[in-house]
Amino acid sequence: MTVKDILDAIQSPESTSADFAALPLPESYRAITVHKDETEMFAGLPTRDKDPRKSLHLDEVPLPELGPGEALVAVMASSVNYNSVWTSIFEPLSTFGFLERYGRTNELAKRHDLPYHIIGSDLAGVVLRTGPGVNAWKPGDEVVAHCLSVELESSDGHNDTMLDPEQRIWGFETNFGGLAEIALVKSNQLMPKPDHLSWEEAAAPGLVNSTAYRQLVSRNGAGMKQGDNVLIWGASGGLGSYATQFALAGGANPICVVSSPQKAEICRSMGAEAIIDRNAEGYKFWKDERTQDPKEWKRFGKRIRELTGGEDIDIVFEHPGRETFGASVYVTRKGGTITTCASTSGYLHEYDNRYLWMSLKRIIGSHFANYREAWEANRLIAKGKIHPTLSKVYSLEDTGQAAHDVHRNVHQGKVGVLCLAPEEGLGVRDHEMRAKHLDAINRFRNI
């Protein structure tokens, strides 16, 4: 039995759930990995020069044992997230520490502590097997998977699953991720695949869409409302392309920051009107590595006021971190919110706290999304209210190049990866709905 037989079953319109359940599983499959004995390979290099093409490998790996409450999924497509970039450059730390720590928690978790890490935190595919205790899903179901892995043994996570002390991001802090032909997930990560999307389109939104939903829309994040001025950094990037859609769909007013005329045009085509090209306008928030320039914060704030008719920002959607955080705090209106989920340019932030406390602003930390938020975010995709922002699609072999593009910020929106899917465009079930949204679905393609 090989993965080829699995693909044949997926592509045959006659295959039933019983057929999938009867398919023998292969002993091994192909997966994108980093290697534990290579974690020092980039030592001494500047971040920019650490090259994912050197550290990401396509390996044949053994199929992991299936445990209670879990599912093995045949992965048709996945996507590149920035967490895979972090893994591939071993920053801010090697992810093998996460696997070792997880492996110490119980006998079954030991499976994750291996000398290789199969990465990837998105997938669209077909359930192959479910473990004991799984009733909601069965072999043959077409699914996407969100990346929240929790144990829920402690009451801390019972209101908000993100608060579980054993909260992990699948494919980053666990093994057996989605950049592979087969993935192992907890069954409560599974959600229905949107019928009107191809495999690679369905695999694109998951992680970033759920994160943007919590960070911006959910009451656990900024709780955006109609009319809010929302400053969105990287508005055509992974997170930003969904934040921009949420702002527009929710009746807010996105102020989109991008770094090229091409990216500005994408935001315009999504429906945004207030757009700042940070490159063209040459903001230099830092005079040198240690000193910020409040005059530049003010120049940025003035530009925002020009675009909003004199209003300041209600919500900043933050993720660049050190480079922008001082400016983000400054341009927020009295009582406004800065919501942050990352620090791409550096995690030690500096801002002038007088502008925070005197103007009663709030900083909210946000991370991925709880089970319910991830489900709600996927539902919006399935209903055609929010669309995938897939630009380019790579083969599994070329994942290193795909991650390199994201690391160097030469991509747009989301970058997809075909795993078992032999070509793009497969897996669409609802052609009528697709036709209705085709322009929006293709907005980011091949630009």
Ligand X SMILES: NC(=O)C1=CN([C@@H]2O[C@H](COP(=O)(O)OP(=O)(O)OC[C@H]3O[C@@H](n4cnc5c(N)ncnc54)[C@H](OP(=O)(O)O)[C@@H]3O)[C@@H](O)[C@H]2O)C=CC1
List contacts with ligand X (CB under 6 A). 81-83, 86, 207-208, 211, 233-234, 236-240, 257-259, 263, 278, 319-320, 323-324, 341-342, 344-345, 367-368, 406, 409
Residue 334, CA atoms < 13 Å, CB-side half-sphere? 2
For residues 389 and 414, the answer to whether their CB atoms sit within 8 Å is: yes
Query: Which residue, 248 or 406, is less far from ligand A1D88 as judged by CB?
Result: 406
As a whole number of angstroms, the distance between CA 306 and CA 380 comes to: 33
As a whole number of angstroms, the distance between CA 8 and CA 286 comes to: 56
Enumerate residues 354-373 that contact ligand A1D88 by CB under 6 A. Answer: 368
Query: Which residue, 309 or 365, is less far from ligand A1D88 as judged by CB?
Result: 365
Query: Which residue, 168 or 196, is less far from ligand A1D88 as judged by CB?
Result: 168
Enumerate residues 83-142 that contact ligand A1D88 by CB under 6 A. Answer: 83, 86, 92-93
Among 82, 96, 297, 317, binds ligand A1D88 (CB under 6 A): 82
Q: Which does 93 bind (CB under 5 to 8 A by kind): ligand X, ligand A1D88, none?
A: ligand A1D88
For residues 31 and 417, the answer to whether their CB atoms sit within 8 Å is: no
Closest residue to bound ligand A1D88 by CB: 83
Q: Which does 51 bind (CB under 5 to 8 A by kind): ligand X, ligand A1D88, none?
A: none
Query: Which residue, 236 or 332, is less far from ligand X as judged by CB?
Result: 236
Examine residue 207 and tell whether it contacts ligand A1D88 (CB under 6 A): yes
Per DSSP, 100 falls in state H
As a whole number of angstroms, the distance between CA 341 and CA 349 comes to: 13
As a whole number of angstroms, the distance between CA 50 and CA 55 comes to: 9
Enumerate residues 212-271 that contact ligand A1D88 by CB under 6 A. Answer: none
* Of the candidates 214, 202, 253, 192, the residue with the CA atom closest to the CA atom of residue 387: 202
As a whole number of angstroms, the distance between CA 255 and CA 266 comes to: 13
* Of the candidates 349, 309, 322, 355, the residue with the CA atom closest to the CA atom of residue 336: 355
Give the gyration radius of the chain's Cα atoms: 22
Q: Which does 92 bind (CB under 5 to 8 A by kind): ligand A1D88, ligand X, none?
A: ligand A1D88
Estimate to the nearest angstrom the gap between the alpha carbon of 319 and the chain centroid: 13
Using the contact rule CB under 6 A, the part of the chain among 63-71, 78-86, 222-230, 401-409 near ligand A1D88 is: 78-86
Residues that bind ligand A1D88 (CB under 6 A): 82-83, 86, 92-93, 147, 169, 207, 211, 342, 368
